[in-house]
Structure 1
């Protein structure tokens, strides 16, 4: 299976609702590498890479987020592989 990378932004009520931590848990469950962080404008930024099926699954999950979140927009773009190892929550 092909290895791909996605980078994007999640908008809505996505900060203060465990969005980053839950994203990291989902990414680790799917065996993905990358990172997630909050932005000063209230969005969450995320980059993740791995097996194409797993990447698509996480991108789909991001459109909903954790139960307490209210995602109003998800902007995702294909990205060149970054070669990151593991998945981290950036501060």
Structure 2
């Protein structure tokens, strides 16, 4: 079953390759959506995918896909899956 999630990630997540590494994980797991930096230093992610892959993606984000990054907190909210999105993009 396909579902969507919005994640707001705080910690050392900007300037450490976090968005690029998040995209690499998303591409490997066939997750669609996007990742973007927020003005307050957080990173915002919208992701859609099949349940097992999406859970693995969320786990990778919580563990910080970037070796230089560090995640302090992840806020997770369910959203409608985005069928129009077929790839994962960095914004």
Coarse TM-score class (shorter-chain normalised): over 0.9
Paired residue total: 89
Structure 2: stretches of 5+ with no match in the other structure: none
Aligned ranges for residues 52-71 of structure 1 at < 5 Å? Answer: 52-65=51-64, 66-71=66-71
Runs of 4+ in 1 over 6 A off after TM superposition: none
Offset at 1:87? 0.6
The answer for the alignment partner of 1:20 in structure 2 is 19
Q: TM-score, normalised by structure 1?
A: 0.94
Aligned ranges for residues 70-81 of structure 1 at < 5 Å? Answer: 70-81=70-81
Residue 87 of structure 2 corresponds to residue 86 of structure 1: yes
C-alpha RMSD of matched pairs (Å): 0.7
Q: TM-score, normalised by structure 2?
A: 0.94
Q: Distance in 1 between matches of 2:73 and 2:49?
A: 23
Q: Distance in 2 between matches of 1:21 and 1:55?
A: 17
